[in-house]
Amino acid sequence: MNTDITMAAAITALVEQQRAVGYKYAAQARVLARFAAFCCTEFPGLHAPTQAAVEAWITAAQQRGVTPSTLRTLVAPVRQLARWLGRRGVNAYVLPAGVLPRPARYIPHIFTDAELAALFTQTDRCHYNSQVPLRHLAMPVLFRTIYACGLRASEARLLRVDDVDLDTGVLRIRNAKGGKDRQVPVSAPLHARLVGYHAQVAGSGGDWFFPGTAGKPLTLGNIDKNFRRFLWQARISHGGRGHGPRVHDLRHTFVVNNLRSWFAHGHDVNALLPVLQTYLGHSSLADTAYYLRLTAESYPHITARIQHALGDVVPPAAAGPGHGH
């Protein structure tokens, strides 16, 4: 067994390798740091993941009551580390596939027009909060931007002032999933809101278009907390932990509503689907197709019309996990 490399050095090298090819690898790096600290305490002197260490790591997570989905995020980087070490002659344990419980497949909540109207009405009623003094100004615009542009919540919250071209009405999404930038034109009504909002907060939020506290952007936790409150105020029921609606479901609703509109107006969906792909920030049409599949159970007529127009581009419901997020 090659013990020339320590676990800490292996983690550093793996993280650097992943980032060098364009991955952010931030959450994974944090998981690996936690795994290394866990091993240092429970298995001192360990140079590589062993079966005992990996199984103890899984058991500790399960005892904390993590969801199957979270458990997978805690194990995947450790498995990747073991494979990285194995390719370098180190005897490391790779957890076999199929061992972990499968997470329940989430069916996105597609907001009705009435639900969207009620939700945005409540964002407009957001009150001033001294701890987050710009919250009442930011929330109505933030959630409209997520929905109207099909953004991920992280993409919206990390917009910098320089990323929002108020003259042309174009957003620059930096270093999104997959490490790519993209430009997203906004509608005329949203453009007007962005201009009005910026006029109110200009100079108050530092570099961030949607500022939080201490010169930092809004956190995902803050966004989720406010979203849950707006749902409750709009009388839109929430299914609890692991269920929806989620902020990300606004992105799904963006997809469905655009498809509905295109079909209703007789537009060429074959030509417009790549536009949707660009808005969503997907690197391939396959990612967008998988994304559409997630809404198929609620809107089968849309899936049928897409397949009629484009061929069989939407994977069947039994398809494995994709990356269309």
| CATH for 196 | 1.10.443.10
Residue 91 in any domain: the answer is: no
Does the annotation count 291 as an active-site position?
Answer: yes
Q: What is the pLDDT of residue 323?
A: 33
Amino acid at residue number 310? L
Domain count, the chain: 3
Ramachandran angles phi, psi of 57, nearest 5°:
-60, -45
Catalytic residue among 191, 248, 252, 293: 248
Same domain, 44 and 12: yes
Amino acid at residue number 120? F
Residue 60 in any domain: the answer is: yes
Same domain, 229 and 205: yes
Spatial CB neighbours of 161, under 8 Å, sequence gap ≥ 6: 198, 205, 207, 208, 209
Q: How many Å apart are CA 61 and CA 201, to the nearest integer?
A: 42
Same domain, 294 and 264: yes
The radius of gyration computed from the CA coordinates of the chain, to the nearest angstrom, equals: 22
Q: What is the pLDDT of residue 193?
A: 94
Does the annotation count 325 as an active-site position?
Answer: no
Same domain, 197 and 143: yes
Catalytic residue among 25, 252, 291, 293: 291
Q: What is the pLDDT of residue 242?
A: 66
Ramachandran angles phi, psi of 231, nearest 5°:
-60, -45
Residue 269 in any domain: the answer is: yes
Same domain, 225 and 293: no
Q: What is the pLDDT of residue 206?
A: 80
- Residue 29 C-alpha from the chain's centroid: 17
Residue 187 in any domain: the answer is: yes
CB distance 123 to 135 below 8 Å: no
Same domain, 117 and 229: yes
By C-alpha distance, which of 175, 242, 129 is closest to 23? 175
Does the annotation count 282 as an active-site position?
Answer: yes
Same domain, 74 and 149: no
Q: What is the pLDDT of residue 305?
A: 62
- What 102-107 contacts at long range (C-beta under 8 Å, 24+ apart), as own/partner pairs, is 102/68, 103/67, 103/68, 103/69, 103/72, 104/68, 104/242, 106/242, 106/243, 106/244, 106/294, 107/244, 107/294, 107/297, 107/298
Amino acid at residue number 183? Q
Q: What is the pLDDT of residue 104?
A: 74
Residue 240 in any domain: the answer is: no
Residue 122 in any domain: the answer is: yes
Same domain, 154 and 224: yes
Does the annotation count 251 as an active-site position?
Answer: yes
Q: Which domain holds residue 167?
A: 113-233
- Residue 159 C-alpha from the chain's centroid: 15
Q: What is the pLDDT of residue 255?
A: 85
What would the DSSP string read from start to end of 227-238? Answer: HHHHHHHTT---
Element (H, E) at 165: strand 164-165
Same domain, 51 and 160: no
Residue 95 in any domain: the answer is: no
Same domain, 147 and 178: yes
Catalytic residue among 109, 177, 252, 293: 177
Domain ends where: 181, 200, 233?
233
Residue 238 in any domain: the answer is: no
Same domain, 273 and 210: no
Same domain, 120 and 224: yes
Domain ends where: 204, 233, 262?
233
Does the annotation count 248 as an active-site position?
Answer: yes
- Can you give the pLDDT of all 325 residues of the chain as single tens digits? 455 789 999 999 999 998 887 677 889 999 999 999 999 999 999 999 999 999 999 999 999 998 888 999 999 999 999 999 999 999 999 999 888 988 777 778 889 899 999 999 999 999 988 888 899 999 999 999 999 999 999 999 999 999 999 999 999 998 777 667 889 999 999 999 999 999 998 777 688 999 988 888 888 889 999 999 999 999 998 877 667 799 999 998 888 888 778 877 888 877 887 888 888 888 776 667 666 665 555 566 665 665 555 444 433 333 333 333 4
Does the annotation count 308 as an active-site position?
Answer: no
Q: What is the pLDDT of residue 178?
A: 64
